[in-house]
Amino acid sequence: MHELLRQLIGKEIQENEKVVITTGTVKVVRENDCDVDREFKPELLGVRFHSIKDDLENFVKITPKVESVVLCAIIENDISEAVIISYSEIEKIHISTDGAEFEMFQGKFKIKNENADLKSILETSHNVFKNVKILTPSGIGTVSPSDKTLIEQNINKINQIFT
């Protein structure tokens, strides 16, 4: 009798919970959601990266790695309404606000807005410096070979940092 009463009370509490927190392993990743496998529990399908489903212009989106462990909130005890709230590993971070974008993916960065892209600005500047003509009293000169090498090394470093 005592056990039956405990189970009924537990079931009533569980049915009235507004948010349930659970862990699982990411199995499939899509543009704005993923599927999460939970040990001994039903799989969570379409777990959102954002708290709301709308397409947003200003947002922070964190994309988990496949096979990473995530902490999910199940809203109003409905497993079709789940959102990731913590990640063990991430694949990508994308931030967009007022036309400016920052992205980190595979160890590289992208920083741009509606008018400019930081990588192309740096590359263009380095190419200009590499080919600059210098007016001297004895005529037109160019950048020294050692400076050109340094500029090339910097361009290579830019390509290692930015996508």
Q: State whether 92 and 16 are in the same domain.
A: yes
Residue that the structure tokens 């192309």 belong to = 120
Q: What is the pLDDT of residues 41-54, one digit of tens each?
A: 999 999 999 877 77
Q: State whether 142 and 87 are in the same domain.
A: no
55: left (phi over 0), alpha (psi -120 to 50) or beta: beta
Check residue 106 and give its pLDDT: 93
Sign of CA dihedral 23, 26, 27, 28: positive
Q: State whether 141 and 157 are in the same domain.
A: yes
- Residue with more model confidence, 119 or 8: 119
Q: What is the pLDDT of residues 138-154, one digit of tens each?
A: 888 888 888 888 888 98
Q: State whether 71 and 13 are in the same domain.
A: yes
Domains of the chain: total: 2
Q: State whether 96 and 140 are in the same domain.
A: no
Q: What is the pLDDT of residues 92-140, one digit of tens each?
A: 999 999 999 999 999 999 999 999 999 999 999 888 888 888 888 888 8
User: What's the domain range around 138?
Assistant: 118-161
Q: Which of 87, 112, 137 is the last residue of a domain?
A: 112
Q: What is the pLDDT of residues 51-107, one digit of tens each?
A: 777 778 899 999 999 999 999 999 888 889 999 999 999 999 999 999 999 999 999
Q: State whether 78 and 23 are in the same domain.
A: yes
Sign of CA dihedral 37, 41, 42, 44: negative
